[in-house]
Structure 1
Amino acid sequence: MKVLIADQINQKGIEELKEVAEVIVRTDITPEELVKDIKDFDAIIVRSRTKVTKEVIEVASNLKIIARAGVGVDNVDVQAATERGIMVVNAPESTSITVAEHTIGLILSLSRKISIADSSVKDGKWEKSQFMGMELNNKTMGIVGMGRIGSQVVIRAKAFGMDIVVYDPYITPEAASELGVEVVDLETLLKNSDVITIHVPLTPETKHLISMPEFDLMKKNTLIVNCARGGIINEDDLYEALSEGKISGAALDVFENEPPVGSSLFELDNVVLTPHIAASTSEAQRDAAIIVAKEIKKVFKGESPRNVINMPVMDSETFQIIKPYFRLAEKLGKFIIQTTQGNITELEVTYCGELAEIQKHDIITRIILQEILNPILNEPVNLVNAPAVAENRGFIITEGKRTDAKGYKNLISIEVESEGNQVSVEGFLGKEPKIVRINGYQVNVKTEGTMIIARYKDIPGIIGSIGVKLGEHNINIAKMQVGRQKPGGEAVMVLKVDQKVSKDVEEDIKSLPNVYDAVAVEL
């Protein structure tokens, strides 16, 4: 394996990678050189300088993983990587403490006017009366976004005796209770906070989240801090709010345009500005390098990395609960693709019983899709690109939950509609994965080996004629199960056999009187 280090990272990360790969350090590589040479590499590590564009990804024939030694992946075309099945990872936990500490530092600088007092003294002045500060004790801090960094800010703010209110639509009551914070809506937070700090990503929803209508809600003594992403605060409106005394002060580490050349904010004394350095500590850079190096090592060893941007994210406890179902999902996916005729148009997956209680099933659905798509496509499909590939092929994918598992503790139910037929299968995980229903007929089939699924009219002699036909082809029946809804109606037969079954055998069985369909399945 070969790893390209395209930007400067801590030596500890490089040493970690050398245990499993050939490491090439080219921190001065140009965009043109990257396009030319990326085909030789299995992994690439970048920070913010190198851009991993769609053009780069399209020629990266061996690339398995793109690692960002930091948090933001703005310089990586994640969609293009996803479509090619390339994992994109980052190191979000590496900067949590560092950014939280910088946030607190900016708040202290604002509340005690440290920055402008420092400049005043250095100018030979002694203007004590100009720098009356504000205590943080007993003040209310409002935190917008309660991810890793927001949670670390909570811990530090409590040490100053502050009350904490938070706005985050995704925080659970349990998590809020554990942190000792009050969850409120954004308007309430803006109206009641003495200090507001932003810790959300820049998305279409958060672009200019804080503009003049929001500043109008704030108290005149409010201080606002942004160490997240430029553009979340409307800087023109911020200048107006600060100039007119609508709020008391602001501190920014990030800007809509970086560097913020000619910004009107430079004119103001009640602003503290730093050059996007909240994550810039030697400890954070060391940790980021080690984290992404370990992620790459996991991929090279066939293991699952933790911080995959283009894969479903779940906590380790949920992962351990859901992991045993992966094998069942693989088997059901294999069954579906071998029994479906023509192009699939719709796929519906329903999680029943105990599985319905789990919040995130996306990774199981991806496994099912992977097993369905790989046999019919030339390009490899994996957990990263499976949903994108299915969407590109026109699949309509629906996920659902049902508390009723039809007498089982858990159940995965799949219904597929294709150009040629409709297929449904239900699987249960006990001591081992089993198929328990096929097209609505109850069976009890171990998901292994070769089997023949036949639909036929439930009248005397049909089962015998199928057995005779298999005997003519020297195929031995190991086990047999039948399922029916009423005597004399349609029935389904599942035959476990000891030999491979060719298309010719399938056609011979289907040619028998009162046999509607027959298909061989390899699990």
Structure 2
Amino acid sequence: MDNVDNMKVLIADQINQKGIEELEEVAEVVARTDITPKELVKDIKDFDAIVVRSRTKVTREVIEAAPLLKIIARAGVGVDNVDVEAATERGVMVVNAPESTSVTVAEHTMGLVLAMSRKIALADKSVKEGKWEKSRFMGMELNGKTLGIVGMGRIGSQVVIRAKAFGMDIMVYDPYITPEAAADLGVEVVDLETLLKNADVITIHVPLTPETKHLISLPQFKLMKENAIIVNCARGGIIKESDLYEALSSGEIAGAALDVYETEPPKENPLLELDNIVLTPHIAASTSEAQRDAAIIVAREIKKVFQGDSPKNVINMPVMDPETFRLIKPFFGLAEKLGKFLIQTAKGNITELDITYCGELAEVQKNDILTRMILQEILNPILTEPINMVNAPGVAKNRGIMVTEAKRCDSRGYKDLINIKMKADGNEVIVEGVFDKEPKIVKINSYQVDVETEGTMVIVRYKDIPGIIGSIGTKLGEHEINIAKMQVGRQTPGGEAVMVLKVDQKVSKDVEDAVKSLDNVHDAVAVNL
């Protein structure tokens, strides 16, 4: 990593001052919140990071003009204004702040639910027009009603908490929620059809994807109760607006509330003519607290990258929940050390990597970030282009390295273990590592060892005969290499054995060759970790 003191961050859109103050601790911060697209392409070459909100578009042209760029930070949730594919190709991380708006959007969702169930917007308009139409605004009580939540992510979970405070029963449709998570939240998981048929209020909390586009259209409206209300604070396009207009106009459902639209702003949209819908201008995430939190979150993500740590909210890398991140974070250092070990023991080009996660690690759903770390450390020493966790899998594939991942429960008595089999043009190596207060290598090929992953080690394969260990030590001593620790492993007396020597000095290629030249020594390699 470059010197942190030399890092420069461009603030291209207005963000909260708290985020700027965080960044100023580690970098030179330049705020140009009126920068034009043409100026951005011209000047981005000087910056290591850029922070945007919605105004600035980080296009392929911008990314390709930014040789120093390491991270693009969106101080918000959506990244529609960032060319993520171009960033990934160039090894640039894209981060956002998904957790910053969870409470804010959930509160807005409940506000729209109340506005519709109690006809607050219409009543407000009526009173301001000098009317007193109490009988016209008969409402619906939420207590005892069923709320159907489509999508149980961060925001959906926050809606559950608030809806329960109103005494509502909760149904959830989410193909990816685990039974344990549902039990913890106290919700009933059902299919979409069941939810639509039984819910009095329906809220949408899923991303817009090819699978969710027009997820709610006329066939779904026909399943709903006549008194049903639907609320969307997620993304426009999940509800087919022409079908929503028909359902509201015909009385198929009672009402709707939207904060997002298929086209924004919704000019000449027939929904604007209806009284049984409440509309807000995409403001569900717009609170001062959310904007402050988003700025702080992305600033801290940039700081992590500058300081050589791993950010949490990288969208062009595997995304994981906080609990998974907590479980695998201790293995980050081990993954890096195993990658360093393999590239230094490989003879010729690496062609295959078979990575197996054992023990409790085998139960973790997403280990891909560890695989990416291993690849990063293998590829960086042999390539001039910058390799990181974003582009490492693509680079490995392009170089013809076949990478496979597997999981098994047998961890040979260790709580967790990573096993890697490497094939190269000239050799094959098996290495196993564990994290036991610190990273350790516990197996090299077929030999059990217990090696700390720090400093320099010399690995020698030799014939197990009297005197050979002494001759190896003598040869190292002749080159003024001091042995700090030694481990020896063998399978049968007189057969091949392996010696792992922890030494105090770096070992040159000449010293390696001198050890290999000894009688009955089959191979020797120095590894710097």
Superposition TM-score, scaled by structure 2 size: 0.88
Cα distance between partner residues in 1 of 2:501 and 2:271: 77
Q: Give 3-state SS (helix, strand or coil) of 1:164's partner.
A: strand
Q: Say if 1:501 and 1:22 are closer, same or farther in 2 by CA, change over 3 A.
A: closer
Amino acid at match of 1:428: V
Q: Say if 1:328 and 1:241 are closer, same or farther in 2 by CA, change over 3 A.
A: same
1:330 equivalent in structure 2: 336
Select which of 403, 416, 422 maps to 1:416.
Answer: 422
Cα distance between partner residues in 2 of 1:196 and 1:318: 30
| Residue 425 (structure 1) shift | 0.6
Select which of 168, 185, 200 maps to 1:162.
Answer: 168
Alignment check: 8 A CA contact 1:82 1:388 kept: no
Matches within 5 A, 1:441-456: 441-456=447-462
1:196 equivalent in structure 2: 202
Q: Which sections of structure 1, spanning at least 5 residues, go unmatched?
A: none
Q: Say if 1:267 and 1:457 are closer, same or farther in 2 by CA, change over 3 A.
A: same
Q: Which sections of structure 2, spanning at least 5 residues, go unmatched?
A: 1-6
Deviates more, 1:114-123 or 1:78-87: 114-123
The answer to whether the aligner puts 1:227 opposite 2:208 as a matched pair is no
Amino acid at match of 2:118: R
Select which of 360, 376, 398 maps to 1:370.
Answer: 376
Cα distance between partner residues in 2 of 1:500 and 1:21: 34
2:274 equivalent in structure 1: 268
Matches within 5 A, 1:212-223: 212-223=218-229
Amino acid at match of 1:365: T
Cα distance between partner residues in 2 of 1:468 and 1:20: 49
Q: Give 3-state SS (helix, strand or coil) of 1:80's partner.
A: helix
Matches within 5 A, 1:145-156: 145-156=151-162
Q: Give 3-state SS (helix, strand or coil) of 1:187's partner.
A: helix
Cα distance between partner residues in 1 of 2:440 and 2:16: 49
1:31 equivalent in structure 2: 37
Alignment check: 8 A CA contact 1:70 1:91 kept: yes
The answer to whether the aligner puts 1:14 opposite 2:20 as a matched pair is yes
| Residue 229 (structure 1) shift | 0.7
| Residue 468 (structure 1) shift | 6.9
Q: Say if 1:176 and 1:349 are closer, same or farther in 2 by CA, change over 3 A.
A: same
Select which of 315, 338, 345 maps to 1:309.
Answer: 315
Instruction: Report Cα offsets for 1:86-141 as digits up to 9, x if no partner.
Output: 33332223322221222122222222333344445556666555444322221100
| Residue 54 (structure 1) shift | 2.0
Amino acid at match of 2:264: E
Instruction: Report Cα offsets for 1:48-72 as digits up to 9, x if no partner.
Output: 1101122212222233332222111
Select which of 181, 206, 220 maps to 2:212.
Answer: 206
2:393 equivalent in structure 1: 387
Q: Say if 1:467 and 1:306 are closer, same or farther in 2 by CA, change over 3 A.
A: closer
Amino acid at match of 1:56: V
Matches within 5 A, 1:335-484: 335-456=341-462, 480-484=486-490
2:51 equivalent in structure 1: 45
Alignment check: 8 A CA contact 1:64 1:87 kept: yes
Q: Give 3-state SS (helix, strand or coil) of 1:417's partner.
A: strand
CA-atom RMSD, angstroms?
Answer: 3.1
Aligned residues: 523
Q: Say if 1:320 and 1:193 are closer, same or farther in 2 by CA, change over 3 A.
A: closer
| Residue 21 (structure 1) shift | 3.9
Identity %: 80
Deviates more, 1:134-143 or 1:316-325: 316-325
Q: Say if 1:488 and 1:397 are closer, same or farther in 2 by CA, change over 3 A.
A: same
Q: Give 3-state SS (helix, strand or coil) of 1:428's partner.
A: strand
Superposition TM-score, scaled by structure 1 size: 0.88
| Residue 201 (structure 1) shift | 1.4
Q: Give 3-state SS (helix, strand or coil) of 1:374's partner.
A: helix
Amino acid at match of 1:215: F
